[in-house]
Amino acid sequence: MHIGKFFVTGAVALIAATVMAERASAYIICNGEGDCWHGHRRETVPGQSFEYHSDDWYFHQEWGTHHRFRPYHDGRGYWHNGVWVEL
């Protein structure tokens, strides 16, 4: 009886952790101009294309040569030529 409850509790915890991790996913998003920023969702913007990288991609880059990491910005939007564009 106790082993069954243990497995059920473990399964529920695993499902909850998976759902929470999926919702909390974060990206490093870069545009064609070399602007990169931290984001939580994939956006579709007509006339713009973005590359999406895992959050740890940040640590493996040489910033300032080909990419510029832009500061966090509240709200939905994207960086374009160094200017934040609201969606």
Please tell me the distance from the alpha carbon of residue 33 to that of residue 22, in angstroms, as a whole number. Answer: 29
Query: What would the two tokens of residue 63 be?
Result: 């910033």
20-38 in b/e form (b: 16+ CB < 10 A) is eeeeeeebbbbbeebbbbe
Q: What is the pLDDT of residues 43-73, one digit of tens each?
A: 899 999 999 999 888 888 878 878 899 998 8
For 82, other C-beta atoms within 10 Å of its C-beta total 10
Output the pTM of the full model: 0.66
Q: What's the confidence (pLDDT) of residue 21?
A: 46
Q: Residue 78 pairs with which residues in a beta bridge?
A: 85
Q: What's the confidence (pLDDT) of residue 35?
A: 93
